Amino acid sequence: MTFNTLLTEDRGAVRVITVNRPDKLNALNHATLTDLHAAFAAAAADDSVRAIVLTGAGPKAFVAGADIAEMNGLSPVQSRDFSRHGQALMTRIERLGKPVVGMLNGFALGGGLELAMACHLRIAADTAKIGQPEINLGLIPGFGGTQRLLRLAGRAATLELCLLGAPIGAERAMQLGIVNRVVPAAELEAATFAIAEQLASAAPQALRGILDAVLIGGESPIDVGLDYETQGFAIAFSTEDMKEGTGAFLAKRKPSFTGR
């Protein structure tokens, strides 16, 4: 597939999706959100894709936010629809069933941080800047920022970032649990793809089971989450990959998972 606002390529079993609006610091407009919906739907449907890396084009930004020029002309009804379009994308990514790694190569602000938080893992360059600055525009986050940030970093950090609107550095973002790892900018791509390739070589059904259990458990009482985990654990025993994984362990060899 080709897109007006994205670049996509496959590196083995890793699909790379790059927001390609570097002249706009990769800001999210309606067209970009629509392209991202289609790109992630295609990745989900393609069995050859085992993991996804999401990043932004150019050296300055992952995604610097939503497109303010486009937003400035929206009516309240249009802005509601724009918010729902963005939130639906973030939910699609979060519930994709395949691991998505955000490679934060620069600014991840506003809608960019919301996009990053929908990824399952986030690897940040030590030069990245992260924040929810909507308050400075007289707005609140509209693509899930108040909710996913609350779940990742807690109430105090969410209120700090959303009320003050000031970006923070990558190291502080890691301390708050917003990003998983921080690496020197020159090592970002290598570090991110090492993780993505590890995920791509893992058992796909087990990956999906973990992603689903964490997602369901995070929104449920612990008894519900534990029951869901037990069911997923039992279902894994019906897969060829479980037999391959345990057999390889006993034979002291590297497993080869097929997704069956």
Please list the pLDDT of the chain residue by residue as tens digits (260 residues): 789 999 999 999 999 999 999 999 999 999 999 999 999 999 999 999 999 999 999 989 999 999 999 999 899 999 999 999 999 999 999 999 999 999 999 999 999 999 999 999 999 999 999 999 999 999 999 999 999 999 999 999 999 999 999 999 999 999 999 999 999 999 999 999 999 999 999 999 999 999 999 999 988 999 999 999 999 999 999 999 999 999 999 999 999 999 89
What is the pLDDT, as a whole number, of residue 259?
85
- Residue 258 falls within a domain, yes or no? no
Structural domain of 86: 6-200
Residue 40 near residue 6 (C-beta atoms within 8 A) = no
- Residue 1 falls within a domain, yes or no? no
Do you know the residue count of the chain?
260
Domain total in the chain: 2
141 and 223 in a single domain? The answer is no
Residue 97 near residue 44 (C-beta atoms within 8 A) = yes
- Residue the block writes with tokens 């067209």: 31
211 and 194 in a single domain? The answer is no
106 and 192 in a single domain? The answer is yes
**Residue 68 sits in a domain of what CATH number?**
3.90.226.10
What is the pLDDT, as a whole number, of residue 235?
93
142 and 225 in a single domain? The answer is no
181 and 220 in a single domain? The answer is no
**Residue 214 sits in a domain of what CATH number?**
1.10.12
- Residue 142 falls within a domain, yes or no? yes
- Long-range contacts, stretch 69-73, CB < 8 angstroms, 24+ apart: 70/29, 70/30
What is the pLDDT, as a whole number, of residue 142?
96
10 and 120 in a single domain? The answer is yes
DSSP state letter for 107: E
Domain end (from 183, 200, 217): 200
Q: Where in the sequence numbering do the catalytic residues fall?
A: 114, 134
What is the pLDDT, as a whole number, of residue 254?
92
- Residue 257 falls within a domain, yes or no? no
208 and 182 in a single domain? The answer is no
41 and 129 in a single domain? The answer is yes
What is the pLDDT, as a whole number, of residue 1?
77
Tokens of 121: 């893992």
Phi and psi at residue 102, in whole multiples of 5°? Answer: -85, 125
Give the gyration radius of the chain's Cα atoms. Answer: 19
Residue 149 near residue 178 (C-beta atoms within 8 A) = yes
- Residue 259 falls within a domain, yes or no? no
193 and 210 in a single domain? The answer is no
209 and 95 in a single domain? The answer is no
Residue 245 near residue 257 (C-beta atoms within 8 A) = yes
pTM of the full predicted structure?
A: 0.94
What is the pLDDT, as a whole number, of residue 90?
97
Say if strands 107-109 and 129-131 run parallel, antiparallel, or are unpaired: parallel
